[in-house]
Amino acid sequence: MKQQDWKRLLADYFHFNARERLAVLVLLLLLIVVFALPRFLPVNDTVSAPVVQDSLVLSLMQQKMEEESGLPRGTVRSWSISGAGEGRENASPARRLDLFYFDPNTLDQAGWLRLGLKERTVATIMKFREKGGKFRQPGDIRKIYGLDEALANQFIPYVRIAARDSGKKAFMDKPGEMYPRIEYRNPGKRALVIEINGADSTQWEALPGIGARLAMRIIRYREKLGGFHSVEQVAETYGLKDSVFQQVKSMLRCDPVQLKVLNINTGSVEELRQHPYIGWNLANAIVQYRKQHGLFAGPGDLKGIHSMDEDLIKKLGPYLNFAN
């Protein structure tokens, strides 16, 4: 192609009419405005650091506090107030780094604030106590108006309500913090241990993962059985998850106790069926077998009942009396 042809081709390609030249000019002006505008806008200097960075700093602070104080890993906890539940204390990370044993009936305003509650929530608690209100068990703090349930569950293991008119002495874990003496298996780890046949609802609620409703279920099941003869029986409680039981198992102790027994040779269907291991069908089978074959001399005679197996006989053994 000749040089003149090239020049003509380039001239035709880069030729703009008046309308196209105006469009290009407007586009250039818009680009200039877009790049220059941020220079004239006000800058917000209040933007906080990223949450991830804050969480990392708090995590390092917790580890340092635990190392300096000699506490086990995970003892120091933290939480913050979130806007998700307006007016309620929330248990999301990053507000306070301190949990301690306290009696909600005697803890002063400064103590509640130290736990991380809002002044408004603390004022509500103070008014409740001034009017004669009492916290009778750890789970009662869930009823505090404005206190998120998740945060209340964080507090419950640290609640120590002094026994009234019981003559029990209290002891001090830290200056100014009094709570009833509780038995610990390993004082270094502060692991709470309870005796499963004598523990009341307050002691059960002090264990992780066990609330007021579950504590009452355990106690009712213990009463129906006639007492526990092993720690493993606690796991049979309706609604108690295996993960929770495995978590608290090392905190449970079963002392020898006089179990409530059933006389299998004289008990009626109605009496026998009340036991959780028997029920109506088996109770009826026991009575019918007794009528046909005579009284039971010992656990071995129960094998004649079709619905009885070795495991069930072993479980029932401690609760049966074979007296004539």
| Type of residue at 58 | L
Residue among 260, 250, 274, 279 nearest 320 (CA): 260
Residue among 190, 202, 194 nearest 161 (CA): 202
Q: What is the dihedral angle through the alpha carbons of 222, 227, 230, 233, rounded to the nearest 10 degrees?
A: -30
Residues linked to residue 252 through DSSP beta bridges, in sequence order: 194
pLDDT at 50: 41
Residues 82-108 have pLDDT tens digits of 333 444 554 444 444 467 888 888 888
Residue among 183, 244, 167, 171 nearest 208 (CA): 244
DSSP assigned state of 217: H
pLDDT at 164: 54
Please give the backbone phi and psi of residue 142, each rounded to the nearest 5 degrees, phi first.
-65, -20
Q: Which sign, positive or negative, has the C-alpha torsion 259, 265, 271, 277? A: positive
pLDDT at 276: 93
pLDDT at 29: 85
From CA 207, how far away is CA 254, in angstroms rounded?
16
CA distances from residue 277 to 233, 243, 271 in whole angstroms, order as listed: 11, 23, 13
Residues linked to residue 159 through DSSP beta bridges, in sequence order: 102
Tokens for 11, please give them: 């001239």
Q: What helix, strand, coil percent values describe the chain, rounded to 5? A: 50, 10, 40
pLDDT at 243: 92
Tokens for 250, please give them: 């090392």
Please give the backbone phi and psi of residue 311, each rounded to the nearest 5 degrees, phi first.
-65, -45
From CA 47, how far away is CA 55, in angstroms rounded?
16
pLDDT at 288: 93
pLDDT at 222: 94
Q: Which sign, positive or negative, has the C-alpha torsion 187, 193, 195, 199? A: positive
DSSP assigned state of 89: B
125-129, Cβ contacts within 8 angstroms, sequence gap of 24 or more: 129/105
Q: Report the Cα 213 to chain-centroid distance in Å.
A: 13
From CA 205, how far away is CA 282, in angstroms rounded?
34
pLDDT at 225: 93
| Type of residue at 278 | I
pLDDT below 50 — which residues of the chain? 44-55, 57, 69, 71-72, 75-87, 90-97, 165-190
User: By the 8 A CB rule, do 166 and 155 touch?
Assistant: no
Residues 106-132 have pLDDT tens digits of 888 888 888 888 888 888 888 888 888
pLDDT at 306: 85
The radius of gyration of the chain's CA atoms, rounded to the nearest angstrom, is 36
